Amino acid sequence: MTIPFTREKLGLDNWIAHAAIQQTPHAHFVAADVPAAAQRILEVSQGRCRFSVSESGPFLQFREAHAYAGELAVKFFSWNCFGKCETSVDRSPGHQINLHIPLQGSFEALQGSQSVTVAPGEMLVVSSPGVVRRRWEGPCDLLNVVISRKLAVSVFSHLADASGLLSLPLVSLDLARHATLARMIEMMVQDLGREHPSLSSPDAMPHTERLLLTLLAEALRGSPVVPQQRESVTIAPYYVRRAEEYLRDNYARKISMGELAKTCGVSTRTLHYGFAKFRDHSPAERLRAIRLMQARHAIIEARISGHKIAEIAKLVGYDNKSQFSRDYKAHFHESPSETLRAAFI
């Protein structure tokens, strides 16, 4: 198999060429300025990813295209820019698994005290919570394969010694050493570009998802950054996952910890212990994060809905607008009004 991947090899130019056709399964976006590119990245990342350019040279074009198949998404990003670029993503404990594959240009990824450089022919696997930054300079093409956390938990929980793979530090894989995984990704991307995809059909999709994750688990097991004696209980117990589901479904109203614990069939003490051990935060902190994420979505869409910030605060369960603004800025490092202004650029 030839490494590295290229845009042409994967058929991504064909994706883009057909993205303007009505009823296409792909979404495509083009911009020639930094604010529009930053807004688009914010939107397709559901408010989690911020893009910036410093010491800017010419910014010629940004392109983005994506397609969805079951619990998987394939996203293509292309920056024709000669400045110093950075993306910053605030990953929650329930965030999806991301596979970043550079097609042109290298990038540096940072999370906590860890730093890794990824070049064409390699793949970065991001699975743990926390802020992840990517930095690069010059033109860059990037392919992202996004795997829902729910799907990863479902598959990994049935694979021997795979539960610890859901919260690893940044892992860079040499695709030449994992040719079967690389071939699977190549086939999946090319298949999504066809008029009638086979791998993403309702009958085939569950097998496609499981095969991709099984191959990924095999590749991660061989990575030197994977501790061989990693905890075997990384997957949270049912009551923690049930609590998270209940919070997502009821975030807009007041929820007491007693109510939440009763819904999950445990004591409030057990509930707090479970969140501290498996999520590294409290149930109340998780509820606040869910509300703020929903608020960010609503603010970004305010140009369509016409909602005011005070209305959005109430819609996500905040009675006090000032408290909402403080929490929002602490979480996203910008005020609600700054997000709103960016949405109208």
Residues 79 and 107: their CA atoms lie apart, in Å, by 12
- Judgement on whether residues 268 and 213 belong to the same structural domain of the protein: no
- Judgement on whether residues 53 and 182 belong to the same structural domain of the protein: yes
If pLDDT is split at 50, 70 and 90, which confidence band does 23 have?
A: very low
Contact between 103 and 120 (Cβ < 8 Å): yes
Instruction: Identify the burial level of 335 via C-beta atoms within 10 angstroms of its C-beta, where 0-12 means exposed, 13-18 middle and 19 or more buried.
Output: middle
Contact between 118 and 107 (Cβ < 8 Å): yes
Residue 305 lies inside a defined structural domain of this protein: yes
Q: What is the pLDDT of residue 315?
A: 93
pLDDT of 135 higher than 60: yes
Per DSSP bridges, beta strands 122-126 and 171-174 are antiparallel
Residue 226 lies inside a defined structural domain of this protein: no
pLDDT of 341 higher than 70: yes
Residue 307 lies inside a defined structural domain of this protein: yes
Looking at the chain, the whole-number percentage of residues with pLDDT higher than 90 is 36
pLDDT per position as a tens digit, 159-190: 776 767 777 889 999 988 898 999 899 888 88
Contact between 62 and 36 (Cβ < 8 Å): yes
If pLDDT is split at 50, 70 and 90, which confidence band does 344 have?
A: low
Residue 192 lies inside a defined structural domain of this protein: yes
- Judgement on whether residues 132 and 167 belong to the same structural domain of the protein: yes
- Judgement on whether residues 216 and 245 belong to the same structural domain of the protein: no
Examine the fold and report which residue of 221, 250, 277 is the final residue of a domain before the chain moves on.
Answer: 221
For residue 320, the domain's CATH number is: 1.10.10.60
Q: What is the pLDDT of residue 163?
A: 65
- Judgement on whether residues 88 and 151 belong to the same structural domain of the protein: yes
Q: How many CB atoms lie within 10 A of CB 202?
A: 7
User: What's the rounded mean pLDDT across residues 12-30?
Assistant: 61
Instruction: Identify the burial level of 242 via C-beta atoms within 10 angstroms of its C-beta, where 0-12 means exposed, 13-18 middle and 19 or more buried.
Output: middle
Q: What is the pLDDT of residue 118?
A: 93
- Judgement on whether residues 34 and 146 belong to the same structural domain of the protein: yes
pLDDT per position as a tens digit, 215-241: 999 999 877 665 444 443 457 788 998
- Judgement on whether residues 58 and 149 belong to the same structural domain of the protein: yes
Q: What is the pLDDT of residue 1?
A: 46
Contact between 88 and 48 (Cβ < 8 Å): no
If pLDDT is split at 50, 70 and 90, which confidence band does 20 have?
A: very low
Q: What is the pLDDT of residue 296?
A: 84
Contact between 249 and 291 (Cβ < 8 Å): no
Mean pLDDT of the chain: 84
Looking at the chain, the whole-number percentage of residues with pLDDT higher than 70 is 87
- Judgement on whether residues 138 and 266 belong to the same structural domain of the protein: no
pLDDT of 123 higher than 50: yes
**If residue 174 lies in a helix (H) or strand (E), which one and from where to where?**
strand 171-174
For residue 115, the domain's CATH number is: 2.60.120.10
Cα–chain center distance at 335: 22
pTM tops 0.75 = no
Residue range of the domain that includes 97: 7-221
Residue 55 lies inside a defined structural domain of this protein: yes
Per the structure, how many domains does the chain have?
2
Per DSSP bridges, beta strands 49-54 and 84-91 are antiparallel
pLDDT per position as a tens digit, 139-150: 999 999 999 888
If pLDDT is split at 50, 70 and 90, which confidence band does 212 have?
A: very high
- Judgement on whether residues 190 and 330 belong to the same structural domain of the protein: no
- Range from 109-118, 169-178, 191-200 carrying the lowest mean pLDDT: 191-200
